[in-house]
Structure 1
Amino acid sequence: MGKKIAAPFPPGEILRVELEARNWTQNDLAEIMGRPLRMVNQIITGKSGISPETATQLEGALNISAETWLNLQSIYQLSKVAENKTEDVKRRAKLYSLFPIKEMIKRGWIKAAENVDELEDLLKNFCCVDDLSKAKDFSFSAKQNISSYNSPVSPTNLAWLYKVRNLAKTQITTGKFTIHAAQSAIDKLSALLLSPEEIRHVPKILSDSGIRFVIVETLPNSKLDAVCFWLDDKTPVIGITTRYDRIDNFWFTLRHELEHVLRGDGKITPIIDENVGIDSDDLPEAEKIANSVAADFCVPQDKLEKYLLRVGPYAFAERKITAFAGVLNIHAGLVVGQLQHRTQKFHLMRKYLVPVRNFILNGSTYDGWGFVNEEI
């Protein structure tokens, strides 16, 4: 282990030693140099530095070259600057490791800071914490911790989660949450599956059921689709990204998150869904259940099975798809989405996967796509 280099000390320390060696007082040196006693005292106490003029006078008084005094002063000043700058750099690096600062500023979530102290304060305010080491808790109580299938949450997703939470806290729902209210909301939502335009009613239906619903555009390099968590035991929150602006993905994701709400998932640990709907044996049971329910909500799975048996290789025939969707009174895009998922033939019939974001943003609490929500 290498030796720790001693920190440089102010040249006033050496000056004090030299005076003691000569049995001189500070007043003696001041008289010798023809300078005020206050000037000598401030050098010795480190309150003032040594100028070229003073260095020249010290050379004459103490027979120590002016270059030596100036070098000592320069080394000390550089060490102080380096110490302060290094500390600021370390602090700033830590903050940048916690959050995507540049993107947050770009999105208007925080303003550009003039120094690291201001940046730290802005982030504390954004997270509503007094210590940023607590930021990853994303909590309203000490026992809560973030988890995405037991994986560490990324800085990008963490910032998104806080934005969703901040916006959700500003909402006032028109109804109180109960399981019955949530189930009633799902029944009402199922009547909207035929027309993309009907999606505009979603925010009100959820609000009437006491569920806070927020839409926040993802940050770059994120695969987030949605999150379910609770502000308290009676206040569920659903946040979505509409990362895939398609009718099938919207309804699947929303019903998936509603199932988490019905089950009480997310009360202890926020449920973070990336690539929602993906099939994997490693998925937690809650995710498998939510996926199954969401698929059945979009297209009743027993009827889809019968359709596949009946049409066989002609499953993607446009006439058959539209006829099947008509019988179910749902949009053909929901059928196409389920067929693509089952067959992995994602290039077929894409024209039916119509965009819906513009319909859902109308009347929603949202942030992104050029709009900055400044609720906090």
Structure 2
Amino acid sequence: MNNVQNNKFIPDYLVTPGEVLADYLDDLGMTQAELADRTGLTKKTINEIIKAKAPITPETALKFERTLGRPAHFWSNLERHYQDDLTRLAEQRRMASYLEWLKRVPVSAMAKLGWIPKLKNTFEQLDAVLCYYGVASPTQWQTVWSEYQVAYRQTARFEGCAEAVSAWLRQGEIQAQRIECAPFDRKRFLEVLDLIRALTTAPPNVFTPQLISLCASAGVAVVFVPELPKTGTWGATRWLGDRAVIQLSLRYKSDDHLWFTFFHEAGHILKHGRKTVIIEGNGLDDEKEREADAFARDRLIPPAEMRRLVKADGLSASDIKTFAAEIGIAPGIVLGRLQHDGIIPYKTHLNSLKMFYRWKSADDE
């Protein structure tokens, strides 16, 4: 069976240079021994070329040009195409062994998001997925994923959807590499966090570009990447060279969760070193997480201000709005904190104070 790709004929069989050479000898009525005499090559070399046990070297191609009447590049091209086809067919056999791994990759979801093309040919799809991950094979994918596991001891809980989580992380890397960033500057990052806190009252079309720009000026690449099914990820922090990366998925869609997650990840950057990889997901609870939680909590609402708020009895929507305006933060963040602390129930009409976001689709253009 043959394949035709983009009007390019790709055979799935091999024609050796030796077969072509044997045909030429038959047409000329020339024996292998006579060709050996005419070229100065040994009979063994001629026989090995015909049996595809030896290649046609550039020197041999020149000798064939003089004795058989076809230019040297003809013989050299035969050899080159044969070696290319040999490599391609061997790769196809290897690729066939990778198809079970491909089934675990969320291809449809990734294609829907535009991260990879959706292809009918399984081998082409596998190749597109490997190119997306930036690896030569699933073996190298496993090596890269294992490096994340070493850096982040709790990644084992993502084993059931490792291909999906790594696809989400990879998209973060791709987007982060497109952002022009200064080298990381801790002092500058602390300064911009105060500016970013004021952005919590702004709509996404305002705060998104400013958030990315301010963080980039301090050496932090902020990327927004939709989560993939069954991953349960809403944030991640890691380092790429001299820049830090904060990756947000908008999992819970409300402003209190988005901004708490951002400042939580900022806490990881400032407190937990460049070798730490953090992937936020369900069930995560350790000392680093608690430290990042405390950083975000106190950065968004200073402890003294929070104590002042909770002294009031029967907090109303108006009380929360007034307090939020006084400290320069979105009311939804204040409500989220009160709900988290058990002061106000989660299921309450006050949820109208929160802003809810959604991913922009092509229909919104």
Calculate the TM-score normalised by the size of structure 2.
Answer: 0.65
1:133 and 2:131 aligned: no
- Any stretches of 5+ residues in structure 2 without a counterpart? 1-92
Change (3 A) 1:320 1:144: closer
1:163 and 2:174 aligned: no
Shift of 1:268: 2.9
Shift of 1:325: 1.9
Q: Which of residues 243, 253, 257 in structure 2 aligns to 1:249?
A: 257
Q: Is the 8 A contact 1:336 1:353 kept in 2?
A: yes
CA RMSD of aligned residues (A): 3.0
1:107 and 2:113 aligned: yes
Partner of 1:272: helix, strand, or coil?
Answer: strand
CA deviations on 1:214-248 (whole Å, 9 max, x unpaired) are 1111122332111111112x111111111222221
- How far apart, in 2, do the equivalents of 1:100 and 1:145 lie? 24
Change (3 A) 1:142 1:243: closer
Partner of 1:237: helix, strand, or coil?
Answer: strand
Change (3 A) 1:138 1:183: farther
- How far apart, in 1, do the equivalents of 2:261 and 2:112 lie? 27
Equivalent residue for 2:325?
A: 326
Shift of 1:186: 1.0
- How far apart, in 2, do the equivalents of 1:162 and 1:287 lie? 23
- How far apart, in 2, do the equivalents of 1:143 and 1:241 lie? 19
Q: Is the 8 A contact 2:267 2:295 kept in 1?
A: yes
Q: How does 1:128-207 map to 2 (within 5 A)?
A: 128-138=134-144, 145=150, 147=152, 149-153=154-158, 154=161, 155-173=163-181, 175-196=182-203, 199-200=207-208, 201-207=210-216
Partner of 1:226: helix, strand, or coil?
Answer: strand
Q: Which of residues 264, 281, 294 in structure 2 aligns to 1:292?
A: 294
Calculate the TM-score normalised by the size of structure 1.
Answer: 0.63
**Max radius of gyration: which structure?**
1
- How far apart, in 1, do the equivalents of 2:226 and 2:345 lie? 27
Change (3 A) 1:230 1:355: same
Change (3 A) 1:324 1:269: closer
Corresponding residue pairs, total: 265
Equivalent residue for 2:309?
A: 307
Q: 2:356 is aligned with what amino acid?
A: P
Structure with the larger RCO, 1 or 2 (CA within 8 Å, 6+ apart): 1
Q: Is the 8 A contact 2:253 2:357 kept in 1?
A: yes
CA deviations on 1:162-205 (whole Å, 9 max, x unpaired) are 111122122222x3311112111112212334444652421111
Shift of 1:142: 6.3
- How far apart, in 2, do the equivalents of 1:144 and 1:137 lie? 10
Q: Which of residues 223, 228, 233 in structure 2 aligns to 1:224?
A: 233
